Amino acid sequence: MSETILVPGGAGFLGSHLCDRLVAAGHEVIALDDFSSGERAHVAQLADARRFRLLRHDITQPLPREAVAATQIYNLACPASPPHYQARPVQTTLTSVLGLWHLLELSRQSGARVFQASTSEVYGDPQVHPQTEDYVGHVNPIGPRSCYDEGKRCGEAMCFAYHRQYAVPIRVARIFNSYGPRLRPGDGRVVSNFIVQALTGQALTVYGHGEQTRSFCYVDDTVEGLIRLMNGPSEGPLNIGNPVEHTVLELAERVVRLTGSRSAIECRPLPQDDPQRRRPDISRTEAVLGWRPKVSLEDGLRETIAHFRHELGVARTFAVA
């Protein structure tokens, strides 16, 4: 059945891939973005699509009148890369809380289902491994990452408050590191950082000794998980991520190999509150949604590297194993 779907953050990395899927499925999609981290180029392929509209809007402000038509709302409106959200901590917190409040109020009036894109950052620097949805986290509430971490934690709390008090239909996903084409050069995420550094001959900057771990989920798999959760039976929260764990140093070495780069790997001091281990337990997600990532890190990195080669105008100059 065709829906009218509102996607705040629709010109961002993850939001634009979601819009692609929703339009292809025959839905009417209204994307909102203030372009603080999103880009019109991310949805340029949808510019002539009859079922797609892109509106410049900051969801901390009252929503545009077009929003009232929505039957589903995917809230992806918040920068996810540390340099972006740490550069604008007040705006990040307001987007995560006040912006979501506007969406929940719209839902209370219209009955639209609200999907909240939460994050693995709600677990902080976890003391439980792997992280299950029952783990309440280990977060510094006043550290440099707190505008994002605590903003998302408050967002989850508000979603469930609206669900309990007003019966607002909600879905909450805790998204782990997602990567793929349309990541922005220099956005501070480890995959894009390493690929850009490797392709441009810079040293790959690894923090600490690179022993910290992450779990990388290719964007197509992530989007499939989000759609299944939105249309599934559970409010969540459910972990959406790849349960295969890699060290950051291993990722750097793999990027160097796949790009054919001669870049060195340099170690730098760890930033404050940087999580040491990050891996989702997705057993509950598998049981409820029948979802599990399909794209290997090797294949996903090849696609992402090809995207950055095109974006940066870097020719393939070395043989890649």
Measured in residues, the chain has a length of 321
Q: Which residues of 249-276 are buried (b: 16+ CB within 10 A; e: fewer)?
A: bebbbebbebbebebebeeeeeeebebe
Please pick, among 74, 85, 123, 148, the residue that the annotation labels catalytic. Answer: 148
Assess whether the previous peptide bond of 82 is cis (omega < 30° from 0): no
CB of 175 closer than 8 Å to CB of 156? no
Tokens at residue 209, please? 């000794």
Catalytic site includes residue 148: yes
Q: For residues 103 and 109, what is the distance between their CA atoms, to the nearest angstrom? A: 10
Q: Sign of dihedral through CA atoms 40, 181, 208, 129?
A: positive
Distance CA 34, CA 281 (A): 33
Q: Report yes or no: 271 and 208 within 8 Å, Cβ to Cβ.
A: no
d(CA 173, CA 297): 21
With CA atoms as reference, report the closest residue to 280 among 221, 200, 210. Answer: 221
Q: What share of the chain is helix, strand, coil (3-state, %, to 5)?
A: 40, 15, 40
Dist CA 198 CA 106 (whole Å): 45
As a whole number of angstroms, the distance between CA 284 and CA 40 comes to 36
Which of the residues are catalytic?
148
